[in-house]
DNA sequence: TTTGGGGAGGTTTTT
DNA sequence: CCTCCCCAAA
């Protein structure tokens, strides 16, 4: 077990009891240390139930469990391994009686939060233009992460803005509890309160967990630190692993100080350092080391490897984001698809990349926000289930009471909720009081509402009878005739959306089979807490696309970082403070250190923003790379400065300084030829030209933009075609 | 109550 | 460019 470790790792793993901080550089075997530590503890006679380990994602938790099980046997694997949030839910549910919450409280995500806040702002008669929902959300979350309640926030508000936000916070918290719901921050905050306020509960957990282990410690916030301290207050065995250079969640309250000042929070702590990197080839590591050395606020470490230099890091400039995407396709084709991962700073960048990959028919998976659980149809159906599970959930009710249309509009819903408030009854339970509804809504509207609530009552009976979640879901879909609704709503996308519905049903079925008859509440909890990373489908041979944030903790043989431009990476909104730029630099460092064998850093000279092109500069981080480790290529696209641009005052910004690009002439010539070939091909088409396409038949060219040609195929509609991939034959 | 047109505004990053 | 929200009309 220990023989596979180097001496530094072994020392950390076998460290005696007490607080321990392992400063583990990127790729230095952090996960291995953590899992081996657990296995080692078990071997020392620690009981599996005495170990609590925090991971950053559920996927990481699952993998850690599996690895430990492999070392010590499945029956001896610890069962308290999970994220702060998932673990919080588990603790809160079993002590719901001590809280002001029912056992099956709902968990509100960002979207639910926004909808709830919208109502709160209306109730407070605040102008939603002046008092934005995002700003309130940020303020509330910041308070919660510092363990500041609404009263305290109000008391301490020194400025008018704070005062209003504190009032919003107060009303928001009331509304949330009225819906018998908690938000993500509450999952930690309420757990902390539970442990603080109930001695016997604290004794129970702190007594049980002899060892508390924390992964990605650099990204924990004040509240999480507090929680760790509470849980370890009896035994004091805290084993944390982190890398201050990879702290990238400062914007949501993460404090690197938890790590840098570890000794203050856990007196007598011992520190271990892991600096040998087992992941990346020499040139890649060299590049990473050079860049991160530009940060002033860091403890400082130097990763090394004995793996050899490998290939140089490729840095390429492209004309625009479309060209960059085309190049991504090309790079992918030069490697094994499943080995390649494409990274970007913002989710919005994924669209173009996805389009290019789709046109080239390259299997790919976009990991992250635009995916499954964010889709409208999925959210709608989940809202039905949430309302079934929790009849007080006003946000879900508002979402679906008129979806599909039941002639129940905003006014009626407003009165309905008012009615539930005055009589202090959950909205769903008003079904038992048609008399109240009739007075509050009038007869006609009341009849429609009762009709809906009756249906809801049927589903609730099903759920109470422990009907499997997927069967319940299928019944709901049938009862509301969802398929017809989708077709009427948006005929073009109905089929695709119905596929998503089917996927949701099968995931519910998988849950039912996998959880040995899990409840509806458990299913919803699981869907609420999925992290982006949890959705990665391993081993399917597809290219993966994700944000740099999502890629944290992962590694890929071939990594392509796109959009390495100033104002994007580093992002504009973080560029004006030193702390901001340093966090962006850490983000860039995380991106670079994901790569094992091969790293490409791409940037474009111009990029569309809100529809129109804006000129860009290469990221300042590219200028911080060591020349020996990189190969810079400037690609000649045969591109000329558009006349219009110079007429209107020229480019907003200067072009990239030439001397950044002293590429080897061989490589340059090679690339140039490729590119010119593409450009030459696209020049064959012009507006009004008659062309033929392999699957769409004959059509007329409507627009030519580079090699992207828009063609009207009559009954097949207008299509955007990249001539690089789909050939168009001229008919004239 | 629904619908559509018009207009404004929006892009960090996530459990 | 797209999405969302508001308002007026049916």
Protein-strand B interface by C-beta, 7 A: A 56-57, 83-86, 109-110, 129, 134, 184-185, 248, 251-252, 345-348, 368-369, 402, 405-412, 445, 529, 531-533, 547, 549-550, 571, 573-574, 580, 609-611
pLDDT digits (tens, 9 = 90+) for A282-325: 999 999 999 999 999 898 888 999 999 999 999 999 999 999 99
d(Cα A480, Cα A451) in Å, to the nearest integer? Answer: 12
Q: Does a cis peptide bond (omega within 30 degrees of 0) precede residue A175?
A: no
d(Cα A378, Cα A550) in Å, to the nearest integer? Answer: 22
Average pLDDT over residues A394-406: 87
Positions of A annotated as catalytic residues are 30-31, 215-216, 246, 594
Q: Is A268 left (phi over 0), alpha (psi -120 to 50) or beta?
A: left
Measure, in angstroms, how far nucleotide B13 C1' is from residue A286 CA. 26
The DSSP secondary-structure symbol of A256 reads: T
d(Cα A242, Cα A214) in Å, to the nearest integer? Answer: 8
pLDDT on residue A318: 93
pLDDT on residue A369: 62
Average pLDDT over residues A546-563: 95
For residue A568, is pLDDT > 50? Answer: yes
Query: Considering only A28-42, A382-396, A428-442, which range has the smallest mean pLDDT?
Result: A428-442
For residue A704, is pLDDT > 70? Answer: no
For residue A409, is pLDDT > 90? Answer: no
Query: Considering only A253-267, A508-522, A717-731, which range has the smallest mean pLDDT?
Result: A717-731
Tokens linked to A644: 């219009």
Tokens linked to A332: 């992918």
Average pLDDT over residues A90-102: 89
Measure, in angstroms, how far nucleotide B2 C1' is from residue A464 CA. 36
pLDDT on residue A33: 96
- CB atoms < 10 A from the CB of A539, how many? 6
Tokens linked to A449: 């509402």
pLDDT on residue A690: 76
For residue A497, is pLDDT > 90? Answer: no
d(Cα A1, Cα A40) in Å, to the nearest integer? Answer: 8
**pLDDT tier at A619, thresholds 50, 70, 90:** very high
Measure, in angstroms, how far nucleotide B4 C1' is from residue A489 CA. 14
The DSSP secondary-structure symbol of A569 reads: T
Average pLDDT over residues A681-710: 63
- Greatest alpha-carbon span in chain A: 86
Mean pLDDT for chain A? 85
All residues at 6 or more sequence positions from A264 whose CB lies less than 8 Å from its CB, including other chains: none
Query: What's the per-residue H, E or C state across A323-361?
Result: HHHHHHHHHHHCCCHHHEEEEECCHHHHHHHHHHHHHCC
Most confident segment among A250-259, A428-437, A706-715: A250-259
Measure, in angstroms, how far nucleotide C1 C1' is from residue A505 CA. 34
Cβ burial of A537 (10 Å; 0-12, 13-18, 19+) is exposed
For residue A596, is pLDDT > 70? Answer: yes
Q: Are A599 and A562 in contact (CB under 8 A)?
A: no
Average pLDDT over residues A480-509: 85
Cβ burial of A186 (10 Å; 0-12, 13-18, 19+) is buried
pLDDT on residue A723: 59
Average pLDDT over residues A478-482: 90
Residue-wise burial string across A108-133, b where 16 or more C-beta atoms lie within 10 A, e elsewhere: bbeebbebbbebbbeeeebeeeebeb
pLDDT on residue A674: 29
Query: Considering only A170-174, A421-425, A479-483, A647-651, which range has the smallest mean pLDDT?
Result: A647-651
| Nearest nucleotide from residue A109 CA, by C1' atom | B15
**Which of strand B's nucleotides are less than 7 A from any protein C-beta?**
1-3, 9-15
pLDDT digits (tens, 9 = 90+) for A635-674: 654 443 333 233 223 333 333 332 333 332 223 222 322 2
What are the counts of helices (DSSP H) followed by strands (DSSP E) for chain A?
A: 29, 21
pLDDT on residue A595: 97
- Residue A707 has φ and ψ, to the nearest 5°, of -105, 10
For residue A683, is pLDDT > 80? Answer: no
pLDDT on residue A294: 95
**pLDDT tier at A725, thresholds 50, 70, 90:** very low
pLDDT on residue A468: 94
Give Cα separations from A335 to A328, A339, A361, A516 (angstroms): 11, 7, 15, 42
For residue A411, is pLDDT > 70? Answer: yes
| Nearest nucleotide from residue A529 CA, by C1' atom | B15
Between residues A492 and A528, the one the model is more confident about: A528
d(Cα A491, Cα A471) in Å, to the nearest integer? Answer: 26
Average pLDDT over residues A575-604: 95
pLDDT on residue A691: 74
pLDDT on residue A714: 62
**pLDDT tier at A485, thresholds 50, 70, 90:** confident
Average pLDDT over residues A669-686: 35
d(Cα A211, Cα A12) in Å, to the nearest integer? Answer: 14
Protein-strand C interface by C-beta, 7 A: A 118, 128, 610-611
pLDDT on residue A241: 97
Q: What percent of chain A has pLDDT over 70?
A: 87
Query: Considering only A187-201, A401-415, A447-461, A592-606, which range has the smallest mean pLDDT?
Result: A401-415
């Amino acid at each position: 077990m220990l023989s596979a470790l180097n001496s530094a790792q072994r020392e950390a793993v076998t460290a005696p009891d007490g607080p321990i901080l392992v400063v583990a550089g990127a790729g230095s075997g952090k996960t291995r240390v953590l899992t081996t530590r657990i296995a080692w503890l078990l071997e020392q006679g620690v009981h599996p139930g005495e170990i609590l380990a925090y991971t950053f994602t559920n996927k990481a938790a699952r993998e850690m469990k599996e690895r430990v099980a492999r070392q010590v046997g499945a029956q001896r694997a610890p069962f308290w391994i999970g994220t702060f949030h998932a673990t919080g839910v588990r603790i809160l549910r079993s002590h719901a009686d001590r809280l002001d919450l029912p056992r099956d409280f709902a968990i509100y995500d960002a979207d639910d939060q926004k909808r709830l806040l919208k109502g709160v702002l209306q109730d407070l008669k605040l102008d939603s233009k002046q008092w934005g929902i995002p700003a309130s959300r940020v303020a509330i979350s910041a308070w919660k992460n510092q363990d500041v309640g609404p009263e305290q926030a109000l008391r301490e508000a020194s400025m008018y803005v704070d005062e209003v936000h504190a009032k919003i916070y107060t009303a928001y918290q009331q509304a949330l509890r009225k819906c018998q719901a908690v938000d993500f921050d509450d999952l930690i905050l309420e757990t902390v309160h539970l442990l603080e306020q109930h001695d016997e509960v604290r004794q129970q957990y702190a007594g049980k967990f002899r060892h508390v282990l924390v992964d990605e410690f650099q990204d924990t916030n004040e509240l999480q630190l507090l929680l760790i301290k509470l849980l370890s207050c009896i035994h004091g065995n805290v084993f944390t692993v982190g890398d201050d250079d990879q702290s990238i969640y400062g914007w949501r309250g993460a404090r690197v100080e938890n790590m840098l000042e570890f000794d203050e929070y856990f007196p007598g702590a011992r520190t271990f350092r892991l600096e040998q990197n087992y992941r990346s080839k020499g040139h890649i590591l060299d590049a990473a080391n050079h860049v991160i050395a530009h940060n002033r606020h860091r403890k400082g470490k130097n990763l090394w490897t004995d793996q050899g230099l490998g290939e140089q890091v490729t840095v390429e400039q492209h004309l625009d984001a479309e060209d960059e995407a085309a190049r991504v396709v090309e790079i992918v084709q030069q490697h094994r698809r499943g080995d390649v991962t494409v990274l970007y700073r913002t989710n919005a960048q994924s669209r173009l990349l996805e389009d290019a990959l789709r046109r080239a028919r390259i299997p790919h998976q976009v990991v992250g926000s635009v995916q499954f659980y964010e889709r409208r149809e999925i959210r709608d159906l989940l809202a039905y289930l949430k309302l079934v599970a929790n009849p007080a959930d006003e946000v879900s009710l508002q979402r679906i009471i008129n979806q599909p249309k039941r002639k129940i509009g905003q006014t009626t819903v407003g009165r309905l909720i008012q009615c539930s408030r005055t009589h202090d009854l959950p909205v769903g339970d008003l079904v038992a009081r048609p008399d109240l509804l009739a007075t509050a809504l009038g007869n006609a509207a009341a009849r429609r509402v009762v009709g809906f609530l009756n249906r809801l009552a049927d589903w609730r009976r099903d759920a109470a009878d422990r009907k499997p979640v997927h069967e319940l879901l299928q019944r709901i879909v049938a009862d509301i005739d969802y398929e017809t609704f989708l077709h009427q709503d948006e005929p073009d996308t109905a089929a695709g959306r119905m596929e998503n519905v089917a996927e949701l049903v099968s995931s519910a079925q998988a849950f039912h089979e996998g959880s040995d008859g899990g409840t509806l509440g458990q299913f919803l909890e699981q869907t609420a807490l999925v992290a982006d990373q949890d959705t990665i489908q391993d081993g399917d041979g597809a290219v993966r696309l994700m944000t740099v944030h999502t890629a944290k903790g992962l590694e890929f043989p071939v990594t392509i970082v796109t959009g390495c431009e100033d104002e994007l990476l580093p992002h504009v909104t973080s560029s004006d403070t030193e702390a901001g730029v340093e966090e962006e630099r850490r983000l860039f460092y995380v991106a670079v250190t994901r790569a094992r064998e091969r790293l490409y850093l791409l940037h474009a000279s111009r990029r569309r923003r809100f529809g129109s092109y804006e000129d860009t500069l290469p990221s300042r981080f590219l200028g911080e790379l060591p020349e020996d480790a990189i190969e810079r290529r400037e690609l000649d696209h045969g591109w000329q400065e558009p006349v219009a641009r110079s007429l209107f005052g020229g480019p907003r910004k200067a072009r990239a300084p030439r001397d950044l690009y002293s590429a080897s002439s061989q490589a340059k010539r090679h690339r140039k030829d490729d590119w010119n070939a593409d450009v030459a091909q696209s020049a064959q088409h012009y507006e009004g030209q008659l062309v033929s396409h392999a699957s769409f038949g004959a059509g007329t060219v409507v627009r030519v933009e580079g090699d992207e040609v828009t063609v009207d195929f009559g009954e097949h509609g207008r299509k955007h075609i990249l001539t690089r991939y789909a050939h168009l034959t001229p008919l004239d």
